[in-house]
Amino acid sequence: MATIREVAELAGVSISTVSHVINETRYVSPSAKARVMDAIQRLNYHHNRLASSLRNQKTHTIGVLLPNNANPFFAKILTGIETACYTSGYNFIMGNANDDPERELSYLRVLLSKQVDGVLLISTGADDAALHLMTERKVPLVLVDRAGTEQADIIHTDNRQGGQLATDYLIRLGHRRIACITGPSFLTPSSERIIGYEQTMQEAGLPVRDEWIITGDFHQESGYQAIQQLLKLDELPTAIFACNDLMALGVLCGLHEAGLSVPDDISLIGYDDIQMASYSVPRLTTIRQPSEELGQLAVERLVERLDNPQAPFQQDVLSVHLITRQSCRLIAEN
């Protein structure tokens, strides 16, 4: 196995320069860096990350905790995290809480036992135990797609804006009876999207009827069950805003089984713009979240925090966008 000394000799630089190139701990001129990288490749040199970690107390490893990796939205965030980690020279270890706060806390303890340098947390949101543990351990933390503490950097999208965009679009199409299928109230994305829906309805002078607001859990089955509940009403809505695409797909299935057409009988708009939204029948109109950008920015913020632990905490809010497809139609005012 090649040694760092052999790399330095072949590149014509000092051992410390090779170390700085590998660990990115000091500026090295482009020409010297190129020679070092060429020598590393020619000698097939493998840096001993473990030995380096023991010396500088850093593992160059990030812990990532997802609430449910079966949700395509979180999978896209993970893609952004992986890309940014690769670019930044970090590895990551992932845990999947499967929407279980106890499992979330257990995985978090495992990540901390692995001596990760910091954690990216998309919390289940069911309780504050994970946040309390991170605060107690004083491990650098970035909360992604969630709020909940002033002791961490936070990155999320403008969920209230998304609720407003979806509802306003349906109103502009002539809809007055608009139902909303939301997620768990303890999650900030849910609570903010429903606020956006209610504010936009009220500003348009439209009633917000309790029976037209159904609470789901962001999974397809809850969307399917929600439409069964709505179909029992004496007066059906003409449009439905589902607060994520998975629930919208469940609604689509339920309406098809009931012999109703989207958008001829009921218009439907989702949220997230997961890949399946482009391939449903009809193709789903939705609110696009910049999911990969969320993941990439989360890594950038965590690396900045690791480099400057005393810096003020930051909150980044990314915009969302309306994507119009085939699941909503213009109707006459009624």
pLDDT exceeds cutoff 70 at 50: no
Give 143's contacts (C-beta < 8 A, 6+ positions apart): 121, 122, 123, 149, 152, 153, 154, 155, 156
Distance CA 285, CA 282 (A): 9
Tens digits of per-residue pLDDT, 258-311?
999 999 999 999 999 999 999 999 999 999 999 999 999 999 999 999 988 999
pLDDT at residue 199 greater than cutoff 60: yes
Instruction: Please list, in sequence order, all residues whose beta carbon lies within 8 angstroms of the beta carbon of residue 69, skipping any fewer than 6 positions away.
Output: 75, 78, 94, 96
Statement: residue 134 has pLDDT above 90: no
- pLDDT tens digits, residue range 102-113? 999 999 999 988
State the residue for tokens 């499967």: 98
Q: Quote the longest CA-to-CA distance of the chain.
A: 83
Measure the CA–CA gap between 165 and 286, rounded to whole angstroms. 10
Question: How confident is residue 86, by pLDDT bands cut at 50, 70 and 90?
Answer: confident
Inform me whether the pLDDT recorded for 16 exceeds 50.
Answer: yes
Closest-CA residue to 180 (of 111, 106, 240): 240
DSSP 265-286: T-EEE-SB--GGGGTSSSPPBE
Maximum average pLDDT range among 9-18, 51-60, 238-247? 238-247
Q: Is the pLDDT of residue 23 over 90?
A: no
Instruction: Please tell me what DSSP assigns to residue 310.
Output: T
For the whole model, what pTM was predicted?
Answer: 0.83
DSSP letters, 202-213, are HHTT----GGGE
Q: Does 59-157+291-318 match 159-289 in CATH topology? A: yes
**Token duo for residue 193:** 């999207």
pLDDT of residue 136: 86
Q: How far apart are CA 106 and CA 203, in angstroms?
A: 45
Q: Domain boundaries in the chain? A: 4-47, 59-157+291-318, 159-289
**Can you tell me whether residue 25 is helix, strand or coil?**
coil
Query: What phi and psi, each to the nearest 5 degrees, are found at residue 23?
Result: -95, -5
What's the pLDDT at 59? 79
Q: Check residues 333 and 60 and name the one with the higher pLDDT.
A: 60
**Domain covering 59-157+291-318 in this structure, CATH number:** 3.40.50.2300
CATH class of the 159-289 domain in this structure: alpha beta
What are the start-end ranges of the E strands in 153-284?
153-157, 178-182, 213-215, 239-242, 267-269
Question: Is the preceding omega at residue 282 within 30 degrees of 0, hence cis?
Answer: yes
Res. 151: pLDDT tops 90:
no
Nearest CA-CA partner of 314 in 191, 143, 192: 143
